[in-house]
């Protein structure tokens, strides 16, 4: 199973590298960027399905972990809900684009801002957890 997962990871990385290379070589052609976005969405859906599958499998294997699983789900819901609340509180926000126009679709702006805010929270949490683990290892 590990060998299959390694082959899958290498394949996904190669496809990603190929698409990014295509976008760079083409000078940012619209079709290349569109394919990169579609590939990004495919990877995102695959990641979500993988995480849910692993959590469900772990839950079945260790029913005592239900409390931790529910706590993690609640934490995700709170973080995304807070980001959504912040994003919805910005009325009339317009972002300039490279074509000289603006991004003014409210749904696009909310989805983008929620994604950015959740990314910031995850990055900060990752940094804090890493620092905590390293300090704890130093004090052992």
Contacts of 16 (CB under 8 A, 6+ apart): 39, 43
Structure tokens, 64: 């005592």
Is residue 124 very low, low, confident or very high in pLDDT (cuts 50, 70, 90)?
A: very high
Indicate the pTM of the whole model.
0.56
In whole angstroms, give the CA distance from residue 120 to residue 131: 17
- Give the Cα separation of 87 and 5 in Å (integer): 37
Instruction: Please give the Cα distance from 104 to 115 (Å, whole number).
Output: 17
Over pLDDT 70: what percentage of the chain? 99
User: Average pLDDT in the 99-126 region?
Assistant: 86
Structural element, H or E, at residue 103: strand 102-103
Over residues 77-91, the mean pLDDT reads 90
Beta carbons of 86 and 96 less than 8 angstroms apart: no
């Amino acid at each position: 199973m590990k060998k299959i997962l390694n082959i899958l990871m290498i394949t996904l990385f190669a496809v990603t590298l190929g698409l990014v290379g295509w976008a760079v070589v083409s000078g940012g052609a619209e079709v290349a960027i569109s394919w990169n976005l579609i590939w990004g969405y495919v990877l995102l859906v695959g990641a979500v399905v993988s995480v849910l599958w692993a959590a469900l499998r772990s839950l079945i294997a260790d029913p005592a972990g239900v409390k931790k699983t529910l706590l993690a789900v609640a934490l995700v819901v709170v973080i995304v809900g807070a980001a959504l609340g912040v994003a919805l509180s910005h009325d009339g926000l317009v972002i300039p684009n490279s074509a000289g126009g603006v991004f003014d679709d409210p749904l696009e702006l909310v989805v983008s801002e929620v994604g950015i805010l959740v990314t910031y929270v995850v990055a900060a949490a990752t940094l804090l957890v890493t620092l905590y683990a390293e300090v704890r290892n130093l004090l052992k």
